[in-house]
Amino acid sequence: MGVAEQSKTTYHELQRKKTHRYVVFKIDEAKKEVVVEKTGNPAESYDDFLASLPDNDCRYAVYDFDFVTSENCQKSKIFFVAWSPSTSRIRAKMLYATSKERFRRELQGIHYEIQATDPTEVDLEVLRERAN
C-alpha cells in the first residue's frame, strides 16, 4: 500500500504550518494508496473531527490537540487515530490493520496513537489523559 504525496504534504501542513486542525485519510483501493479524504480548518472543534469519521467504515486520522498543562503552559500534541468501527466490513478492517504501520512511518512527529472501534475510545477526555 502506497502513500499519496498529497497525504504527506497535507500532514506536514498540519504539523508545521498549523493550517489544519485534523486530517482524515482513507485507502483508495483502486489506486492502492492512502489519500486525503477531509481536512478540518484550525477553527473546527473536536466534535467536527468526530463527525468526519464514518460510522461503518475504517479511516486513519491525525488530530492536532491543543491544551494547557497544569503549569499553565500552552501545548500541542499530534494524535494518530486508527478508526476501525465494529460495524465496518471485515475486508476493510484487515486492509487498514495491515497498512497502518507503513502509513504511520511516513508521518514523522506523531506523539500518540489511539486505536478505536467506537466513539468512546476517542472521547476528548481520552486525549486529555494521554497528553498530560
84 and 93 Cβ atoms separated by less than 8 Å: yes
Summarize pLDDT for 64-86 with one digit per residue, the tens.
999 998 899 999 999 999 999 99
- Say if strands 74-83 and 59-68 run parallel, antiparallel, or are unpaired: antiparallel
With b for 16 or more beta-carbon neighbours within 10 A and e for fewer, the 76-105 pattern comes to ebbbbbbbbbeebeeebbeebeebbeebee
Banded pLDDT at 132 (limits 50, 70, 90): confident
Tell me how far CA of residue 26 lies from CA of 11, 33, 38, 95, 104, in angstroms: 13, 8, 9, 11, 13
- Say if strands 74-83 and 112-116 run parallel, antiparallel, or are unpaired: parallel
Percent of the chain with pLDDT over 70: 100
Across 9-16, average pLDDT = 97
Q: Which fold has domain 2-131?
A: Severin (3.40.20)
Q: What is the mean pLDDT of the chain?
A: 96
Residue 38 confidence (pLDDT) above 90? yes
Across 74-100, average pLDDT = 96
Residues 6+ apart with CB under 8 A from 120: none
In DSSP notation, 10-27 reads HHHIIIII---SEEEEEE
pTM equals 0.95
